[in-house]
Chains A and B, each alone.
Chain A
Amino acid sequence: MSGFLLAAALFLLLTIAAGMVRVLRGPTDGDRMLAAQLFGTTGVAILLLLAEALAMPALIDVALVFALLAAVATVAFVRQRGEREADDD
C-alpha cells in the first residue's frame, strides 16, 4: 500500500513539473501566480500522501502550514501589485 502511495506522490510531482511550463511562459503574472497556487494545492496532496506512506503524522501539520502559506502568498501578490500600480498612477 505504501508503494502505491509513494507512486501517487511521484505522479503529483510530475504534474507540478508540467505546471512549471506555465510559470515560464506566463504570459501575465496572474498566470504565474495561478501556477504557484496549483503547486500549493498539489504540494498539500503530496504531503498528505507521504504522511500516510512513511507513517509520519507530523507531515499532516506541514501540509496545514503549506495550505496557509499558499493563501498568504496569493494575498501578498495581489496587494503588492495593486499598490505599485496606484503609485504609478
Chain B
Amino acid sequence: MIDGLSILLILAGLVFFAAGSAGMLRFPDVYTRLHALTKADNLGLGLVVLGLLIRAEALAPMLKLVLVWALVLVAGAAACHLVAQRDWTRRDREGDL
C-alpha cells in the first residue's frame, strides 16, 4: 500500500521533471524557460520528496527531506528573480543603444 503510493508519487514527480526539461529545450526565450524550470522542477522534487517521505521510518530523515525541499524552493525562487532581473536590465541597456 505504502509502496504503491510511493511509486505513484515518484512517477508523478518524474513526469514534472520531464516536463521541466522539455520546456527548457522547447521554450523560446529566457523568461519562458525560467517559468518552466522554477515551477515544474520544484513541484517534481516536491512529489519525489513526498514519495520518499511516506517510506521513511525515523523522524530525523523525514525532517531532513523536508528541509532539502524547502531549501531548494527558496534557492530556486531567489535564483529565478536574480537571473530574470539580470536579463531584464541587460535588455534595457541594449535597447538604449
Contacts and interface: CB of A to CB of B under 8 A. Distances in A.
Interface of A: 1, 4-5, 8, 11-12, 15-16, 18-19, 21-22, 28, 30-31, 33-35, 37-38, 40-42, 44-45, 48-49, 52, 57, 60-61, 63-64, 67-68, 70-71, 74-75, 78, 81-82, 85
User: Helix, strand, loop or mixed for chain B's interface?
Assistant: helix
14 contacts: A1-B3, A5-B10, A11-B14, A30-B87, A34-B37, A37-B83, A41-B42, A41-B76, A48-B52, A49-B10, A49-B52, A67-B71, A75-B79, A81-B86
A28 B18 contact: no
A31 B68 contact: no
Given A18-B25, A41-B42, A60 B61 contact: yes
Contact of B83 (A16, A21, A34, A40): A34
Interface residues of B, number: 43
Interface centre among A31, A34, A71, A78 (most CB of B within 10 A): A34
Interface in B22-73: 24-25, 30, 33-34, 37, 41-42, 44-45, 48-49, 52, 55, 61, 64-65, 67-68, 71-72
B80 to A, nearest CB: 8
B82 interface: yes
Given A19-B25, A44-B68, A74 B34 contact: no
A85 B79 CA distance: 19
